[in-house]
Chain A
Amino acid sequence: MDTGNREAMIEVRNLVKTYYTGGKPFSALRSVNFSISANEYVGVIGKSGAGKTTLINMLSGVDQITGGEVYVNGTAVHALGDDQLALWRGLNLGVVFQSFHLLPMLSLLDNITLAMDFCGTYRHGKSEKRAMALLDSVELADHARKLPAQISGGEKQRVAIARALVNDPAVILADEPTGRLDSATSETIFRIFDHLIARGKTIVMVSHDRTLADRVNRVFNLEDGQIISNGGEEL
């Protein structure tokens, strides 16, 4: 079985995504190729509509791939079924969204343990302990029993990051994680990501903010569904 480039943590070949609205095709991604090594910090920068969210959705497998191949940590993502994808995603990926996506009816602690529940990774008693440790790592242990509505946006995003880390994934995908936060809060979030890089994680972050370029190791500039410049690598 072809597992792609063994060196690469993420390998994308001829990735194509086409949407059909009103029967007319719209190419969100047109033949994208790249490869990301372990522990790289990659920023995907582009305007709205450039296809950057589509790209990250292809990597996480939350949207159907129209054509091409995506390998993440040795797994052929394009070949997985819906249920396999869900489990694989839960175990191998940490996904962070622009609008946090915490479940409003569950406490912060439960939001984190829920992810372990679905993947069956930790026994119930242990999962709570681990969730507390993760909350502690984003300095929110004191708020563990609160509901998401009771904390600020920046705090929500920290919980979302803690949740993304439950199963200790090698790869973290973040879609505009600071898009809804003010400048000061954004800084805290970026520091957490820096810390994760220091711990050896691979991070792909999407943003329309050009200043992201200064924070990451490598930048992919996306425009009209194509990578127009790819920091450091030949296209």
Chain B
Amino acid sequence: MRPRWRKVIADWWSNLSRFILVTLSLMGGLFSIGIIAGGYVTTLEDMESGFKAISPSDVRIRTEAFDQSLIDYVQSLEGVVAAEGEKMLFAQLQTADGEWQDIIIRVLPEEEQQINLVELLEGRLPQEQEIIFDIHRTIDYGIGDQVTIQTAAGQKRQLQYTGTVRDQTIGTLSGSYFVAPVYGYIAYDTLPWLHQEKHYEVLLVTVDPQLSAEDYKALKDDLTGLVEQSGRYVFTITDLRNNDHPNSGYVRAVSNLLALLGLLSVLLSGFLVYNAMAALLAQQMQHIGILKAIGARQGSIIKMYMVFIFVFGLLALIVAVPLSAWSAQALGQFLGLRLNFRAGDLRLVPFALVIQTVIAIILPQAAGIIPILKASKVSVQEAINSTGIQIDEFGKSRLDRRLEKIKNIGRPLLISLRNTFRRKSRLVLTLITLSLAGAVFIATFNVRASVEKYIDKVTAYILADVNLDFDRNYRINEIEAIAKTIPQVVLVEPRSAATAQLLNDQGEALETVEIWGTPPDSSTIKPILLDGRWIVAGDRNAIVLNEAFISNYPDLQVGDIINFNIKHREISFVIVGFFQFIGNDFFLAYAPIDYLNEVSGNRHKAANYQVVADVSLVEQDREEALARTLDETFRSAGFSIRSASTSKSIRGNATLGLDTMTFFLLIMSGLTALVGSISLTGTMGMNVMERTREIGVMRAIGATDRQVMKLVLIEGVIIGLISWFIGVLLAFPISYLMSYIINMSIFGVTGEFSITINGFIIWLGIVLVLSVIAGLIPANNAARLTIREVLSYE
């Protein structure tokens, strides 16, 4: 081997610990980029291909009871690939300790499943009097156990638990996968055992993927017409064509945030390479001088150090590629379980590999080239005689001159302050990582606040203590009378719902709208009004519309007449106001309950009741008790009750999903904080190393260890404070962006934006602690240096 390479190896060897650290950090950067890029690609691929494989329904029509003959007929239509019937039961499952938990039971079709396939993971598909469960919620039982189901009508039935499946459609229709209840699946033939009629209520259709958008729309209209002509009322028709896996939004959101973290770690590793090289070269200045003195040209020196750096990248790459591929797969498995998809096998993702290679080769070289070029240009004379305090760049920039004007703060503090700004490029790099970390941290709190504000809005429409949901309409008087027998109940407010079609002037259907009937001046709704007013006493055909109408039909005004098709009748309403609900893509309206019931043929009946209890019932468990009492009372009286839930538990469910997200975000910002503090420690270490001579001088003229330590610590704190300040400014756009992404992926709406002071204050505390810790090691080292070491020139 040529001796110059022996020198390169010796340099590696003699700085081993530092370079292992740099290689590790580079590896960390490459690893995170690899896992993010690889994980993103494989997860989305797996989700997409997995979701396609279950033949998800393109059209979903909820209507009145039908049987196989309608299905067969639909199947024969041109453009229809498959049609299938479905039925959903709302029931309760007894837990091991005797409580009841909500369960949705999907009735599998009589024929073999063709649409929305469930994937059998364990055991076997259910036969008569058997049930299988989806894996997304753990239940208290294992395969082979007998489980007890309580139907809406209150009958209790034993079923045999025979298998576990994955149902990727959970979360497609309502709310989010994370707050969905337990899903069970039974055979069509089990329906009578649960006292249910053998029929379907939902028609699922898949269409030819080649179908043009117009043909598809025509087919959809044909389907609706067909069902209506058969004498059945169409409650809802849902278009699911082009829908992704219901949870793909989460992956996108998570990946966006992770990409930010990956970027940070790459930035940090580049920074560390730069730092390490700058330190090494400062230390090897004399060597470079000697090399030049004995005949080395600038090119050979640059080459030597570049090869030196190349080793970092190569080593990091060799370890990071397989490790990240493996981890991406493990992440996929984990996410598959959490996000309800089937993760694929271990594989190398070319996209991730290319990114990693480019970063591994280019980044260290780019980071190192600056100090290398600088060092290689130094004249032999300067390099060999690098002694004494370097009269450096301080005093040249405008900032420095401004700093010079700050005087009346005592010299030691002055030194810290001016030292902070001596190495400007290094300071900028540190500030970038630390500020970004801070901004992400602060944003986490703001995102949470934003989502909470959003949830607040939703719950403003369900202020009652208990929400009673029946399986069908009951007479309002009857329900009220029974509810009032429970002493705590103060008020029972009915709600009825009707599905309607918004009509244009020509009488053509435009949108499906859900209209809720409410008593006027309801005390259980605190509407957020955008215009006009709420439903008040004396209103008859008044209607209040949500913001979806404003954004889709901006011409609509308060006072306008609006027409709907309700149960095949055209009904006119007068718009009295607009309210804000949870998003733009969901048409919702409120109308006086009496009028709505009248036009939908349900006079004096309702399926939903809002129960308000005595004000003293403030604690959640007492509300829960009331909900249970109501549930039992109505069930034993023979009412078919779907659920009796407290508003707080509804809110709690939503918060549960939010907590998952917040936890993830906090981990992420914790990591960025770690990244930031590593870079701060690196900077402080470099600063102190460069100034060992100055520190020696200060000690020679009377500074004690404590004073020297204080100088270094204060410098760290100054950097921390500056980064906090920048982080605060950055937190606003980042919070906005993250809130947008999270809201979009959880609720599918732009949602709300809110700022909370907490994140700012907590981060200030953390950054102060971090900067003290980051300064502590270098400060300690600085204090330990003996003056002789510092002042000796060789």
Contact = CB atoms under 8 A, between A and B. Distances in A.
Interface string A87-120: 1011100010101011101100010011101110
Nearest to B287: A103
A113 B295 CA distance: 12
B10 A105 contact: yes
Contact of A106 (B10, B296, B299, B379): B10
B11 interface: yes
B380 A62 contact: yes
Contact of A118 (B14, B286, B294, B381): B294
Given A90-B295, A103-B287, A118-B296, A97 B384 contact: yes
Contacts of A167: 295
Contact of B3 (A62, A64, A90, A114): A114
Interface residues of B, number: 31
B414 interface: no
A106 B3 contact: yes
Q: Of residues B3, B11, B293, B379, which shows the largest number of chain A Cβ atoms within 10 Å of its Cβ?
A: B3
Contacts of A22: 391
A187 interface: no
B401 interface: no
Contacts of A103: 7, 287, 290-291
A163 B299 CA distance: 22
Given A83-B299, A97-B384, A62 B293 contact: yes
A124 interface: yes
Interface in B367-390: 377, 379-382, 384
B4 A118 contact: yes
Interface string B1-14: 01110110011011
A113 B7 CA distance: 11
B584 interface: no
Interface in B347-398: 377, 379-382, 384, 391
A101 to B, nearest CB: 5
Interface string A114-135: 1101110000100000000000
Nearest to A131: B3
Contacts of B14: 105
Contacts of A64: 379
A226 interface: no
B298 A83 contact: yes
Given A101-B293, A106-B10, A117 B4 contact: yes
B375 to A, nearest CB: 13
Contacts of B794: 99
Nearest to B291: A118
Interface in B1-41: 2-4, 6-7, 10-11, 13-14
B292 interface: yes
Secondary structure dominating the interface of A: helix
A89 B297 contact: no
Nearest to A109: B3
A99 B387 CA distance: 13
Contacts of B7: 103, 105-106, 110, 114
B294 A114 contact: yes
A87 B3 contact: no
B291 A57 contact: no
Contacts of B379: 62-64, 82
A115 to B, nearest CB: 4
Nearest to B381: A63
A90 B294 contact: yes
B300 interface: yes
A115 B381 contact: no
A73 interface: no
A60 B293 CA distance: 8
B309 to A, nearest CB: 17
B287 to A, nearest CB: 6
A125 to B, nearest CB: 12
A106 B3 CA distance: 8
Nearest to A127: B3
Contact of A57 (B286, B296, B300, B381): B381
A117 B5 CA distance: 10
Contacts of B6: 106, 110
A119 B294 CA distance: 8
A57 B381 CA distance: 7
A65 to B, nearest CB: 11
A115 B300 CA distance: 12
A84 B307 CA distance: 23
Contacts of B286: 101
A141 interface: no
Interface string A53-88: 000010010111000000000000000001100110
Contact of A115 (B10, B295, B377): B295
Interface in B563-620: none
Contact of A86 (B10, B297, B382): B297
B87 to A, nearest CB: 79
Nearest to B379: A63
A49 to B, nearest CB: 14
A21 B3 CA distance: 38
A86 B3 contact: no
Nearest to A62: B380
A95 B294 contact: yes
A119 B3 CA distance: 12
23 contacts: A57-B381, A62-B379, A62-B380, A62-B384, A63-B379, A63-B381, A82-B377, A86-B292, A86-B297, A90-B294, A91-B295, A95-B293, A103-B7, A103-B291, A105-B10, A105-B11, A110-B3, A114-B4, A114-B7, A118-B294, A118-B300, A119-B295, A124-B2
Q: Which 4 A-B pairs have the closest CB atoms?
A: A90-B295, A62-B380, A105-B10, A63-B381
Given A86-B298, A105-B14, 12 more contacts: A57-B381, A64-B379, A82-B298, A82-B379, A86-B296, A102-B290, A103-B290, A103-B291, A110-B3, A114-B4, A114-B294, A118-B4
